[in-house]
Amino acid sequence: MSDTTTAEPRLQRPPAERRYADELAKLAAEDDAPRPPGWALSLQAARTFVVGDESRGITRKFVGDPSLIDRALVTLATNRGLMLVGEPGTAKSLLSELIAAAVSGDSTLTIQGGASTTEDQIAYSWNYSLLVSEGPTQRALVPAPLLQGMAEGRVVRFEEITRCPLEVQDSLLSPLSDRVLAVPELEGDSMVFAREGFNIIATANTRDRGVNEMSAALKRRFNFETVFPIADFDTELDLVEHEAANALARSGVPVPPSRDVLAVLVKVFRDLRSGDTQGRPQAVMSTAEAVSVAHAVGIKAWYLRGGEAEAGDIVDCMAGAAAKDSAEDLARLRRYLEQKAPQRKGPHWASLYQARNLLPG
């Protein structure tokens, strides 16, 4: 299926292995380092895919400590799962997608954790009409990501695992420790044994019900890596600029906000995130949120005015992101705009200050 030969709209966000198919093919072709059994790339090539290498035409996709990527890949080549923990919006999901694409060539074996996640959605379920007509046969079995990943030797992603009920989380115990999953209903071959290449990358937000509640037995079967927010201002600004330009190009907007406007946006996010002036907002002022506000700012300027974004556009685009449904956060944002913005110099801060009345309420 090609995205260009049909008149259908483009996919909004194809999986990493399709977005970066050319890079993956190039890395595989040039890869002469040893690969762990069942892996599509060597550890070096997988790391290069994630952190990039300009000289080889591989883009940087994750900004952060390359040694984190090394440790993550080493873990995946062992018999332990990988648990990425951190604040929301620190690119845990992105990282797990990129790593799965590099290691298995497929990032789509994904379980989305939530309060109502069931074992059916994790391991397997049944095609009911076949179940009724022929009983619990292989044909009637409908594999979910875990079973499929084990049978095919691929990385399975488990998003937001700590949002699942504990007993559902614990269904990962024997796949992780014994590398086997029982399908007791099947006659004969009721055990599915994992092939080389299978492992699990789970993600967990520190703001959700904690990883502390996860059973000790399951915790032991994962290596934990913390993903931190981007520490350096310029690095974060570069990322927001780059991601916003990409997102806007996909949305048909030819003029992204200028770097000066984005610098104000990133500064506001960082000030609110650190909370040293106004108290920390409940909303997470993450880099991911900054990117989406930058996207909205560009859309607003182009589609509502046909022009370029101004710092003032940040204000109303931010209300929904920074305040969500918290009146307290909105008040905090208002105080910030009233007290902090006028202290800063330059036309963009002035424009931000001018726009403070656009805040709802």
Ligand X SMILES: Nc1ncnc2c1ncn2[C@@H]1O[C@H](COP(=O)(O)OP(=O)(O)O)[C@@H](O)[C@H]1O
Binding site for ligand X (CB under 6 A): 62-64, 86, 88-94, 203, 230, 239, 243, 287-288, 291
**Beta carbon of residue 193, minimum distance to ligand X (angstroms, whole number):** 31
Q: Which CB atom, from 126 or from 224, has the smaller least distance to Mg ion? A: 224
Residue 286 as a binder of Mg ion (CB under 5 A): the answer is: no
Q: Which CB atom, from 85 or from 359, has the smaller least distance to Mg ion? A: 85
**Beta carbon of residue 179, minimum distance to ligand X (angstroms, whole number):** 27
Among Mg ion, ligand X, none, partner that 288 touches (CB below 5 to 8 angstroms by kind): ligand X
**Beta carbon of residue 245, minimum distance to Mg ion (angstroms, whole number):** 22
Q: What residues between 326 and 355 interact with Mg ion by CB under 5 A?
A: none
Q: What residues between 292 and 321 interact with Mg ion by CB under 5 A?
A: none
Residue 258: exposed, middle, or buried by beta-carbon count in 10 A (0-12, 13-18, 19+)?
middle
Residue 119: exposed, middle, or buried by beta-carbon count in 10 A (0-12, 13-18, 19+)?
middle
Among Mg ion, ligand X, none, partner that 243 touches (CB below 5 to 8 angstroms by kind): ligand X
Segment near Mg ion (CB under 5 A); pick from 43-51, 60-68, 92-100, 326-334: 92-100
Among 90, 93, 110, 351, binds Mg ion (CB under 5 A): 93
Burial 238-252 (b: 16+ CB within 10 A, else e): bbbbebbbebbeeee
Q: Which CB atom, from 160 or from 329, has the smaller least distance to ligand X? A: 160
Q: Which CB atom, from 117 or from 351, has the smaller least distance to ligand X? A: 117
Segment near Mg ion (CB under 5 A); pick from 51-59, 85-93, 263-271, 289-297: 85-93
Q: Which CB atom, from 207 or from 250, has the smaller least distance to Mg ion? A: 207
**Beta carbon of residue 94, minimum distance to ligand X (angstroms, whole number):** 4
Q: Which CB atom, from 35 or from 92, has the smaller least distance to ligand X? A: 92
**Beta carbon of residue 223, minimum distance to ligand X (angstroms, whole number):** 18
Please give, one letter per residue, the 3-state secondary structure of the chain: CCCCCCCCCCCCCCCHHHHCHHHHHHHHHHCCCCCCCCCCCCHHHHHHHHHCEHHHCECCCCCCCHHHHHHHHHHHCCCCEEEEEECCCCCHHHHHHHHHHHHHCCCCCEEECCCCCCHHHHCEEECHHHHHHHCCCCCCEEECHHHHHHHHCCEEEEECHHHCCHHHHHHHHHHHHCCEEECCCCCCCCEEECCCCCEEEEEEECCCCCHHHCCHHHHCCEEEEECCCCCCHHHHHHHHHHHHHHHHHHCCCCCCCCHHHHHHHHHHHHHHHHCCCCCCCCCCCCHHHHHHHHHHHHHHHHHHHCCCCCCCHHHHHHHHHHHCCCHHHHHHHHHHHHHCHHHCCCHHHHHHHHHHHHCCC
Among ligand X, Mg ion, none, partner that 298 touches (CB below 5 to 8 angstroms by kind): none
Q: Which CB atom, from 243 or from 316, has the smaller least distance to ligand X? A: 243
How many residues make contact with Mg ion (CB under 5 A)?
Answer: 1
**Beta carbon of residue 117, minimum distance to ligand X (angstroms, whole number):** 17
**Beta carbon of residue 142, minimum distance to ligand X (angstroms, whole number):** 28
Comparing CA positions, the residue from 244, 273, 287, 289 lying closest to residue 333 is 273
Q: Which CB atom, from 147 or from 296, has the smaller least distance to ligand X? A: 296
Among Mg ion, ligand X, none, partner that 62 touches (CB below 5 to 8 angstroms by kind): ligand X
Among Mg ion, ligand X, none, partner that 130 touches (CB below 5 to 8 angstroms by kind): none
Interface residue list for Mg ion (CB under 5 A): 93
